[in-house]
């Protein structure tokens, strides 16, 4: 019986990791208790998943129309492109359709018309599991499970070596914090262990994503403001993970996206303005007034 315990325990951990991964994704995407009906193609195209072994991905939305229910269209013809390794940010009022765009990228739903493309192919041409392996997400609020902090990071890529986990933690700027804990990487976290702060949890999420090494990254920025020091550290860690990676940011604080290659300003399912930070300020319209409302140059908080 004792001999069985090891493998069973391991299987339990894997199960728990998979469940938590799904919880994270559902949480970020706001998918709760919802049946989503999308089917895998009969002859799926292969897709490279890790950046380390492949080039960054190209992402495009082509005249996408979509709604959750037939009587209400939410996105009214959305087109944009994120070139390999570039960063596009989406901003806009609440309910504008920002998260809906990330849900369509993950293909949690199918578009009504138009297409979502990754590497020039319709996301409907890939196996869903492969597509989601190629896309990493740093959610607003990370779900931790009752395991060691090392394991909580490692499940970004089950099978990563302890050295790889540590390297990811260093890049995410959480290694020093972990080493200051009495049991280091073995410290139990979660409901029955050490409680982590919002900023620490986010760094765990960043470390996981660094390990996963996806070719596309979706950052769902937290609405709640962190203190300025933590915010700076998180931004630095996010810069590391998004460097050279095709990145889509759903942003709330404009100060974090001034360096984006393109900013899409959304309202009621339309892109009403688009351009770089400087170009949008020069237009002196919607984005410029959002920037002014957030305090302009010194603006940090929403």
Which x/- pattern over 24-63 shows residues binding ligand ATP (rule: CB under 6 A)? Answer: ----------------------------------------
Contacts of 181 (CB under 8 A, 6+ apart): 149, 187, 194
Q: Does 68 bind ligand ATP (CB under 6 A)?
A: yes
Task: Locate 267 and state its tokens.
Answer: 């309202």
**Minimum distance from residue 77 beta carbon to ligand ATP (Å):** 15
**Distance (Å, whole) CA 229 – CA 221:** 16
The only residue of 100, 242, 246, 256 in contact with ligand ATP, by rule CB under 6 A: 100
Contacts of 5 (CB under 8 A, 6+ apart): none
148 bridge partner residues: 188
Quick check: 156 and 208 in contact, CB under 8 A? yes
67 vs 184 by CB, closer to ligand ATP: 67
12 vs 95 by CB, closer to ligand ATP: 95
**Distance (Å, whole) CA 268 – CA 132:** 27
74 vs 171 by CB, closer to ligand ATP: 74
Q: Does 99 bind ligand ATP (CB under 6 A)?
A: yes
Which x/- pattern over 78-97 shows residues binding ligand ATP (rule: CB under 6 A)? Answer: --------------x-xxxx
Task: Locate 174 and state its tokens.
Answer: 């959480």
Q: What is the DSSP letter of 243?
A: T
Dihedral sign (CA 196, 144, 214, 53): positive
Q: Does 256 bind ligand ATP (CB under 6 A)?
A: no
24 vs 200 by CB, closer to ligand ATP: 24
Quick check: 250 and 98 in contact, CB under 8 A? yes
30 vs 184 by CB, closer to ligand ATP: 30
Total residues contacting ligand ATP by CB under 6 A comes to: 10
Residues of this chain that interact with ligand ATP (CB under 6 A) are 68, 74, 92, 94-100
């Amino acid at each position: 019986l004792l001999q069985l315990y090891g493998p069973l325990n391991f299987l339990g951990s894997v199960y728990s990791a998979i469940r938590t991964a799904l919880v994270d994704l559902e949480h970020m995407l706001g998918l709760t208790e919802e049946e989503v009906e999308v089917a895998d193609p009969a002859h799926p195209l292969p897709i490279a998943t890790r950046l380390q072994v492949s080039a960054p991905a190209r992402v495009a939305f082509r005249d996408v129309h979509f709604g959750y229910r037939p009587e209400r269209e939410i996105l009214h013809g959305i087109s944009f492109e994120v070139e390999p390794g570039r960063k596009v940010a989406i901003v806009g009022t609440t309910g504008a359709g920002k998260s809906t765009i990330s849900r369509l990228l993950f293909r949690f739903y199918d578009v009504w018309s138009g297409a979502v493309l990754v590497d020039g192919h319709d996301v409907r041409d890939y196996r869903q599991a492969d597509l989601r392996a190629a896309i990493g997400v740093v959610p607003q609020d990370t779900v931790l499970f009752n395991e060691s902090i090392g394991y909580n990071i490692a499940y970004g890529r089950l099978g990563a070596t302890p050295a790889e986990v540590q390297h990811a933690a260093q890049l995410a700027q959480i290694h020093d914090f972990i080493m200051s804990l009495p049991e280091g990487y073995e410290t139990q976290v979660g409901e029955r262990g050490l409680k982590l702060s919002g900023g620490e949890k986010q760094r765990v999420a960043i470390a996981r994503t660094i390990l996963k090494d996806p070719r596309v990254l979706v950052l769902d920025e937290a609405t709640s403001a962190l203190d300025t020091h933590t915010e700076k550290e998180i931004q630095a860690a996010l810069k590391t993970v998004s460097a050279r990676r095709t990145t889509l940011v759903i942003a709330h604080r404009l100060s974090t996206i001034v360096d984006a290659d393109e900013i899409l300003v959304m309202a009621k399912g339309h892109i009403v303005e688009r351009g770089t930070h400087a170009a949008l300020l020069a237009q002196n319209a919607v984005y410029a007034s959002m920037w002014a409302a957030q305090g302009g140059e010194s603006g940090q908080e929403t």
